[in-house]
Amino acid sequence: VTKPLKVAVAGLGTVGAGVLKLLRRNAGHLAARCGREIVVTAVSARDRNRDRGLDLSGIEWFDDAAAMASRADAGVVVELIGGSDGVAHDLVRESFRVGRHVITANKALLAEHGAPLAAAAEEAGVALAYEAAVAGGIPIVKALREGLAANEVNSLYGILNGTSNYILTEMRESRRDFADVLADAQAAGYAEADPSFDVDGVDAAHKLAILTSLAFGTKTDFGSVLVEGIRNISLQDIDFAEELGYRIKLLAIARRTPHGIEQRVHPTMVNREAAIARVEGVTNAVMVDAVPVSATVYQGAGAGEGPTASAVVADILDIAAGRRLPTFGVPAAQLVDLTPADMDQHAGAYYVRLTVRDQPGVIADVSAALRDENVSLESMLQRGRSPDAAVPVVLTTHDTVEAAMKKALARIASLDTVLEPPCMIRIEE
């Protein structure tokens, strides 16, 4: 009989508690899947006295997570604390040092230190698994690393942050502004007390950096991701988007271009009829375009106790069964430096909302600035007349090089009749 797999879990919050519960609830089924029993032998968290709704009797407790990595009677350490540095990083390094497999849900850690950690795991002869770190319950890591292994990926894009997608959905459906919806989401526990990683695009960018490595065989390069969040999206933009046949989504996009690899997270106008436009609320989705498979779509719950535990436990099963692949699909030494594409060379369509003083000549001045930079207009909308007062003017462009768009916008912003900084949103067809 194969010996049980012994597991040490650091962090007993939403995800950690979920993992312990799932291991217990499905123990028989899991043992059948991997041919051996899975036993949690050690845990670590900050507060030993906190009631977590878990029976921890018979499980060794460690106040110091890094000490648990070396001292616990376990072959696998599961890191569910979070944060790109500090305890989580120390714990993972210590686990490698003593030759223990690591499973983590920590996207910040992998986005910041993915390539060196993959190399360290390989050197130690252990696994570094992280299915839960990207899109929670959706098995997108496995899909890219295994299911699509035969393909060459051209691009991928997705909704990787449930909180910001929920806020955008709620703004549109309940016709309330960003601050209002965010405050409610925080009160209801859908959004963190410090929402900045979610609404400023950082969380989605962490996940994108990981997917980019898996898709293109490059070293994780979080620093070259263009990151813009949703704080500046107004109800006006949401309404204009609907009127123009679009919907605003915080998209994460990674794309191979002739100039290098584009990695970007920003609010995006997508066709209202497109599949991605229909992904609402906290749901996540990833679309991958690869050759020869063509487009494939992955959708589901991107966070929460159950979905995240589902992904962590799948990684535990792989290790229990002896299935192990290089962290990013290819040996760490073969990961290449990422050549970032310069966004100034990006070509696409743009939506621009201006707040202008309603007086003769404004539209002519705006049009001149665009024409001088070779930006070709697709449409221009002006709503409501109110002589000498502030009115919105919205325009969309045909495909334009981003550098030209920026120059035109700088000129437009400097016009006396343009009363607020222009709001620019990229359009993806």
**Which residues make up the interface to ligand NAP (CB under 6 A)?**
10-16, 44-47, 50, 65, 80-82, 87, 105-107, 132-133, 136, 303-304, 308
Per-residue buried b or exposed e for 398-424, using 16+ beta carbons within 10 Å of the residue's own CB? eebbbebbbbbbebbeebebbeeebbb
Shorter beta-carbon distance to ligand NAP: residue 174 or 196: 196
Give strand pairing partners of 60.
Answer: 42
- Residue of 6, 15, 9, 217 lying closest to 107 (CA atoms): 15
Shorter beta-carbon distance to ligand NAP: residue 47 or 337: 47
Shorter beta-carbon distance to ligand NAP: residue 207 or 346: 207
Least distance CB 138 / ligand NAP (angstroms): 11
Is the Cβ–Cβ distance between 138 and 167 less than 8 Å?
no
Shorter beta-carbon distance to ligand NAP: residue 283 or 396: 283
- The residues near 6 (Cβ < 8 Å, ≥ 6 apart) are 39, 40, 41, 73, 74, 75, 76
Least distance CB 265 / ligand NAP (angstroms): 16
Integer CA distances (angstroms), 250 to 47, 88, 231, in order = 36, 28, 11
Query: What distance lies between CA 269 and its chain's CA centroid?
Result: 18
Is the Cβ–Cβ distance between 246 and 240 less than 8 Å?
no
Least distance CB 323 / ligand NAP (angstroms): 22
Burial of residue 215 (CB within 10 Å: 0-12, 13-18, 19+) is buried
- Residue of 311, 335, 276 lying closest to 156 (CA atoms): 276
Q: Which amino acid is at 66?
A: A
Least distance CB 379 / ligand NAP (angstroms): 40
Paired tokens of 32: 């059948």
Shorter beta-carbon distance to ligand NAP: residue 11 or 158: 11
Instruction: Give CA–CA dist 143/414, Å, rounded.
Output: 48
Chain residue at closest Cβ approach to ligand NAP: 13
- Within 10 angstroms of residue 291's Cβ, the number of other Cβ atoms is 10
Least distance CB 7 / ligand NAP (angstroms): 16
Annotated active-site positions, please?
Answer: 207
Shorter beta-carbon distance to ligand NAP: residue 14 or 271: 14
Least distance CB 13 / ligand NAP (angstroms): 2
